[in-house]
Structure 1
Amino acid sequence: MKKISILSLIAVFLISCSGKDAGAPLQQAPSLPVLSVENKTATTETEFPVAIQGKTDVEIRAQVSGTLDKIFVDEGAYVSQGQPLFKINDNPYRQQYNNAKASLNAAEASLINAQIEVDKLTPLVQNKVVSDYQLKTAKANLSIAKANVAQSKAMLGNAEINLGYTTIKAPVSGYIGRLPRKQGSLISPADPQALTTLSDIKEVYAYFSLGENDFINFKTQYEGNSLSDKLKKLPPVSLVLSDNTVYNQRGKVDMVDGQFDKTTGAITLRAKFPNAAGLLRSGNTGKIKISMQHENSILVPQEATIEIQDKIYVVVVDSKNAISRQPVVVAGKSGTDYLISEGIKSGDRIVLKGFENLPDGATIIPEAPKKAVAKI
């Protein structure tokens, strides 16, 4: 019984407490900053991965076979156009040149003899001392001698070209790449691997790709009757390097590929960047930033959104000041704002902050957002 009486007392106490709570005043609705969204013109920066190449990337290959006698440059060195890079043993080609030159001398001597014979027989035929047949034969021999001279000159020219190929020179100014072949190696024009690569990087090209939808959006952003006209009105672009630093020179998009890649469904564009200091090299990677303007867009501060299970939400306020979470589609970023393409429209009201712990359906007291005060 004692146990029961004690339990009864506890029950009476709880009932009396609950009665007191029931009479307590209701909690007041919180005052939260509310923003009325409207259409604005927004500028977004979209990043695309790029592959960087020199203005000229040349594979240096041998044009004649032979032993690599000398290497005049080191890896990574800067060379000027026409500067010797490699020397192939030229003894066989020098002998071919000397041989061709001797053949030309012999052919020219034969030509002189054939011309003398024609000159000798011509007056004799005119005076009918010898038959016309002998003169025709002499003229035929003269034609053969002329052809032999022309053939010998061609052979000498070919031998001279091959001899010149034994010294490999820089076709453009730029930086030398790796040197996989060493002195003494046997090299050939058929080698699968080049002797080295030479990059002219006073200017570099950054290649990037746009999907079909991005490309259509890109074309509609700028005025012009053709792509060339639109590219001229495209503002300068920025290059973000692999360490997330921004390259100190701005570039210009100057080329659009002629067709889409059937495999990827993307089209390639090219941006040109000055590189007088040589900070960029062929093979660098990074991202290119392209600014695009969006008319009649909805901008929402990022702080006014919440992410739940990979979806972005804003807290919408209805006409009765009740709140609810509304999923939105983010089309891009403009500074600290999200560019919203779907989910809300101009005239809707959203809560800027303080909504994290409020359930859907809760009522708030809207207040105007506070304006930032500039610090002096």
Structure 2
Amino acid sequence: GQPLFKLETQSMSQEAAAAKANVNAAQVEVDKLKPLVAKNIISQVQLETAKAKLQQAKSSYNSIAANIGYGTIVSPVDGYVGTIRMRTGALVSPTNQNPLTVVSNTSKVYAFFSMNEKEYLNFIQNAKGTTKEEKIANFPAVSLVLANGKEYDQKGIIETINSQINPNTGTITFRALFDNSNGLLNNGNSGTIKVPSVFENAIVVPQEATFEQQDKTFLYTVSEDNTVSAQPITIKASVDNLYVLESGVPKGAIIVSKGVGKLRNGSAITPQKIDFAGTTQLIKTEFQ
């Protein structure tokens, strides 16, 4: 890693020089005793004692040298350096609770967002897969709208979902991973996560085309003789001003989209066909 800080090691360098001298002296002593032992002038014990002192001197020197090496503090990861709280000459020690600085690796960033319980259940039930892990793997890519209103040019992947619903907010937290090789995103950025709702071959109707009676939801279909018939429907999901239907209306059926409050079952009307786009807006679901 790149060097970030240099600690003062002058006093330790002096200690290292003294320790190195002790190593040299101990080595000389061992070299002097070896031939004496070979000639049986002194005992083997004296030589082993000298070797032990040499090993002790080397250990002391290596410890001091290692501490000197720690005097240069390098970054453990690639990233961006945060605020440097210390100034030249400041006293630091291993007992300091505050870090010298924080290096952030922002090549990839996490975005945290929440859904309420209803949105979460709809989302998880519509995802492909049988287990939660399979559903997460099959989640669609999400988009990030930045604080300036512009959409980030990289898609994110939902990686994890919190296992508990927050009892205070009634929401559950998601975590999405975004590539940030361009360095645009920083820790603490805010924005809006857009999660696409995917319903394959789904039948959707405008909410204003429906009405409720006795806890059931209905809409009017138009028959060939231009009379209307109330049909009960089962709603699978709500997306903006649309209902995604699970059952109740066959594909291609003609429905009454406006003015349903003025009609009764069997009423005759003069229908005016309009495009579906004229009754609703672009389907879009956003969570923040």
On whether the aligned pair clears a TM of 0.5, the verdict is yes
Alignment of 1:216-365 (within 5 A): 218=124, 221-223=127-129, 227=133, 233-253=138-158, 255-256=159-160, 260-261=163-164, 270-294=175-199, 297-301=202-206, 304=209, 316-317=219-220, 321=228, 331-333=237-239, 337-339=242-244, 345-346=248-249, 351-354=256-259, 358=262, 365=269
Whole-Å separation in 2 of the counterparts to 1:328 and 1:152: 84
Alignment of 1:142-221 (within 5 A): 142-208=47-113, 214=120, 218=124, 221=127
Whole-Å separation in 2 of the counterparts to 1:349 and 1:191: 73
AA aligned to 1:221 is A
CA gap of 1:89–1:290, structure 2 versus 1, over 3 A, is same
Contact 1:315 1:350 in 2 (8 A): no
Counterpart for residue 367 of structure 1: 271
SS at match of 1:351: coil
Counterpart for residue 12 of structure 2: 93
Whole-Å separation in 2 of the counterparts to 1:272 and 1:283: 15
Same amino acid, percent of matched pairs:
32
AA aligned to 2:39 is K
- Cα deviations by residue, 1:206-249 (Å, 9 ceiling, x for unpaired): 3456788837953762348883x665554432222234432111
Contact 1:222 1:233 in 2 (8 A): yes
CA gap of 1:351–1:225, structure 2 versus 1, over 3 A, is closer
TM-score (norm 2): 0.70
Alignment of 1:36-75 (within 5 A): none
Whole-Å separation in 1 of the counterparts to 2:85 and 2:58: 38
Counterpart for residue 74 of structure 1: none
Indicate the structure (1 or 2) with the bigger Cα radius of gyration.
Answer: 1
CA gap of 1:272–1:316, structure 2 versus 1, over 3 A, is closer
Contact 1:205 1:271 in 2 (8 A): yes
Q: What displacement does 1:280 show?
A: 0.5
Q: What displacement does 1:198 show?
A: 0.8
Contact 2:209 2:219 in 1 (8 A): no
CA gap of 1:323–1:235, structure 2 versus 1, over 3 A, is closer
Q: What displacement does 1:139 show?
A: 1.6
TM-score (norm 1): 0.56
Whole-Å separation in 2 of the counterparts to 1:215 and 1:155: 64
Counterpart for residue 112 of structure 1: 31
Q: Which ranges of structure 1 fall in alignment gaps of 5 or more residues?
A: 1-81, 125-133, 307-312
Contact 1:314 1:351 in 2 (8 A): no
CA gap of 1:372–1:318, structure 2 versus 1, over 3 A, is closer
Q: Count residues with an aligned counterpart.
A: 265
More strand by share: 1
Q: What displacement does 1:103 show?
A: 2.3
CA gap of 1:230–1:372, structure 2 versus 1, over 3 A, is closer
Q: What displacement does 1:175 show?
A: 1.0
AA aligned to 1:194 is P
CA gap of 1:226–1:157, structure 2 versus 1, over 3 A, is farther
- Cα deviations by residue, 1:309-335 (Å, 9 ceiling, x for unpaired): xxxx977338974889x999783427x
AA aligned to 1:120 is K
Deviating more after overlay: 214-223 vs 241-250:
214-223
Whole-Å separation in 1 of the counterparts to 2:108 and 2:116: 26
Give the alignment's Cα RMSD to 1 decimal: 4.4
Whole-Å separation in 2 of the counterparts to 1:191 and 1:143: 43
Whole-Å separation in 2 of the counterparts to 1:181 and 1:242: 32
Whole-Å separation in 1 of the counterparts to 2:96 and 2:13: 23
Whole-Å separation in 2 of the counterparts to 1:209 and 1:203: 20
Whole-Å separation in 2 of the counterparts to 1:232 and 1:245: 27
Whole-Å separation in 2 of the counterparts to 1:157 and 1:262: 54
SS at match of 2:21: helix
Q: What displacement does 1:289 show?
A: 3.0
CA gap of 1:112–1:244, structure 2 versus 1, over 3 A, is same
Contact 1:115 1:142 in 2 (8 A): yes
- Cα deviations by residue, 1:282-308 (Å, 9 ceiling, x for unpaired): 2223343333433575522256479xx
